[in-house]
Amino acid sequence: MAESMLALMNLEGIPGAGLWIFLSVGAIALFGVFLPVTTWLESQRKEREAFYKAETVRRLTEASSEGAKAAVELIREQDRIERAKRHEGLKIGGLINLGIGLALIAFLHMLIPDKAVYMCGLIPAAIGVALLAYVLLLAKNPE
């Protein structure tokens, strides 16, 4: 089957032509179908969540004055939870970048000991240190 496809496209004598065809089809499938569909689905999910949140707040405020207070408290609590998640995500991102940088330094130093290629590991390590410094020193604690 593969040979007949290569013969049909006049690619029989080209080494690795099947691999390039496979990669081309895979790239088209990834960038032309998968990523746009997942992006669209994510935007639909966010829109639906925003609608449900607005509907819940509307119903609470229509109920009574206590409902309005409850709605405001609900919005504040959801905002606080979102800020805490973002804060923790920055911490985790900083630790991951720092770990990757240190591991890259060790790996490259063992792989090529006579050259300073291992210094490339300082790039992700410095990004990790910057993220951790921001989270621990500059950013307000969300709680």
More confident of the two residues 88 and 140:
88
More confident of the two residues 53 and 120:
120
Residue 100: its pLDDT value, please? 97
Q: Tell me the Cα Rg of the chain.
A: 26
CB neighbours of 78 closer than 8 A, spacing ≥ 6?
A: 53
More confident of the two residues 2 and 142:
142
Poorest-pLDDT segment among 17-31, 41-55, 117-131: 17-31
Phi-psi category of residue 16: left, alpha or beta, with phi > 0 → left and psi -120 to 50 → alpha: left
Report the chain's mean pLDDT, rounded to a whole number.
86
For the chain, the domains span 17-63, 81-137
**68, HSE (Cβ side, Cα atoms, 13 Å):** 3
Residue 136: its pLDDT value, please? 92
- Tokens standing for residue 83: 């800020």
Task: Return the number of other C-beta atoms located less than 10 Å from residue 21's C-beta.
Answer: 15
C-beta separation of 135 from 90 below 8 A = yes
Predicted TM-score (pTM) of the model is 0.62
Q: Nearest-CA neighbor of 128 among 78, 77, 93?
A: 93
More confident of the two residues 129 and 6:
129
Residue 99: its pLDDT value, please? 97
